[in-house]
Structure 1
Amino acid sequence: MEAALGVFFICCMSVLSPFSGVDEGELRGCPPSPNCVSSQSMKYNFIHKVNPISYSTSREVAFQTISKYFHESENIYISEEKEGEYIRIIFFTKVFRFPDRVEVYFPEGTNEMQVRSQSTLGLWDVFANRRRVNKFREILSESGS
């Protein structure tokens, strides 16, 4: 029983981690484990590196497009949304309902969305975070068509 409670608290702490959000115009970095990708922090770490997502529409349209996707999707909990700038989401896997933490950030003055996606359980994510980021890339490229 104590072991189960310990696992539960560790899971809760990883989902509600203070190591999220935007700090000095950048998303926070990834931990050393290969279950996280980021387009911004730890720029020179090839294990975690993904390119930012470019869009051809206005910042507001891009934000609304990705926000609409999050609001209409299943197995997603939006834990924080700052209009036009930042969204923190928790994705739950379909089978076992494992939580994955995702953040998107739209810095001013660029046509790029910065993204960070991390599996909160397990050491390796079987490229799930990279596939998720590529899905976001598809959604924003369709909005500019």
Structure 2
Amino acid sequence: MVRWIIAMVVVLITIFFIYVGVSNQLPDDLGVTDGLLKPCPSSPNCVSTQAAPEDVAHYAEPIIYTGDRKETQLTIESYMLSKGNARIVSSTLGYVHFEIKSRLVGYIDDVEFYLPEADSVVHFRSASRVGHSDFGVNRERVRQIQDLLVD
């Protein structure tokens, strides 16, 4: 009986990690289109400055910055990479996309920053690829960037 329970637990854990691996695929529709980042899904595991302000589950204030656009982007990139679990997927002046991998299970979040040329503002979208809730991880990540850039 104990062997059967152990075998079932091993099978369930294996299925879970296969699910996470399959679901963690890079979305093909990220980036900026007509000045907009991809909208958040209905699940509460996404935060975006471009969500409607009345959508309190997803909306966060854009970050107003002073100084140089390129230097601001480099500050963001350096900070994110210093965390040790981030990698840059793509980076051009005004846009950067990171993958952030959780240490325990290996969930991946996509974190995008958009710095329009005409404004001194940082728009962002931080979203989990897998699951329903993120336990506030994406919103906390954004708060850290706000603290970094706001004097």
TM-score higher than 0.5 = yes
- Where do 1:60-139 residues align within 5 Å? 60-82=70-92, 84-139=93-148
* Alpha-carbon offset, residue 30 of structure 1: 0.6
The code of the aligned residue for 2:73 comes to F
Q: Please give the TM-score of this superposition, normalised by the length of structure 2.
A: 0.81
Please state whether the residue corresponding to 2:24 is helix, strand or coil: helix
* Alpha-carbon offset, residue 6 of structure 1: 6.3
Go from structure 1 to structure 2 and tell me whether the alpha carbon gap of 1:140 and 1:26 turns closer, same or farther (over 3 Å shift): same
Q: Please give the TM-score of this superposition, normalised by the length of structure 1.
A: 0.84
Please state whether the residue corresponding to 1:18 is helix, strand or coil: coil
Higher Cα radius of gyration:
2
* Alpha-carbon offset, residue 113 of structure 1: 0.4
Identify the range of structure 1 (126-135 vs 53-62) with the bigger mean alpha-carbon deviation. 53-62
Identity fraction in percent = 30
Please give the alpha-carbon distance, in whole angstroms, between the structure 2 residues aligned to 1:9 and 1:133.
Answer: 26
Structure 1 partner of 2:59: 49
Deviations 1:94-119 (CA, angstroms, capped at 9, x unpaired): 22221111000100111110000001
> Unaligned regions of 5+ residues in structure 2, if any?
1-10
> Unaligned regions of 5+ residues in structure 1, if any?
none
Q: What is the CA RMSD across the aligned residues, in angstroms?
A: 2.1
Deviations 1:47-100 (CA, angstroms, capped at 9, x unpaired): 210011111122122112112223333011111111x21011011112222111
Go from structure 1 to structure 2 and tell me whether the alpha carbon gap of 1:28 and 1:41 turns closer, same or farther (over 3 Å shift): farther
* Alpha-carbon offset, residue 124 of structure 1: 0.7
The code of the aligned residue for 2:84 comes to E
